[in-house]
Amino acid sequence: MVSYVTTDEATRRRVEDKLASRIPNSFAAWRSVPDLSAKDHAAASAMLNEKLFDGAIVMRVVDQQDSQTYVPTEAWYSGYPSFYGYWGASWGMVQRPGYVVSDRLVSVETAIYSITDDKLLWAGRTRMLASSSDKLMDESADRVIDELRKQQLIQ
């Protein structure tokens, strides 16, 4: 079972579907166990065992940091060997005004559990600039899947 923990149901479904499509023999939690309890351990365990799940992959955002960087004004001039050259060049000065760039660094944690043994098997974090939540989750899923393949944990 693959799950993405978020209150945004559309994003959850999209991420879980992407993970399930790329990880062999996995199923999106929202499709397979939509009523899985987060509070009743015994009920959740019974439901997962009934559905014959042996493992769970869970992703969630664990941190985000905003930063701002000031890009200073940039100006350049054409040559001015004389007053008239300077005077004319001053009016033709090229300038790009300074501006502020805002970035958001987001950390996504992924944990893989054995449901049978109730033990953590693997965990990792991705950290990247988030230009959009869709792109962030797509890139996080891609990185995790690539790492799992590299470690030969999935085919």
pLDDT tens for residues 45-63?
Answer: 889 888 889 999 999 999 9
> What letter does residue 140 receive in the DSSP assignment?
H
CATH number at 145 reads 3.40.50.10070
Say if 75 falls within a structural domain: no
Say if 14 falls within a structural domain: yes
Q: Which domain holds residue 47?
A: 2-66+105-150
Say if 96 falls within a structural domain: no
Domain count, the chain: 1
Say if 144 falls within a structural domain: yes
CA quadruple 133, 139, 140, 142: dihedral sign:
positive
pLDDT tens digit string along 59-114? 999 998 888 888 888 766 555 667 776 666 666 566 777 888 888 888 999 999 99
What is the mean predicted confidence (pLDDT) over 32-51?
A: 86
> What letter does residue 6 receive in the DSSP assignment?
-
Query: Would the pLDDT of 131 be above 90?
Result: no
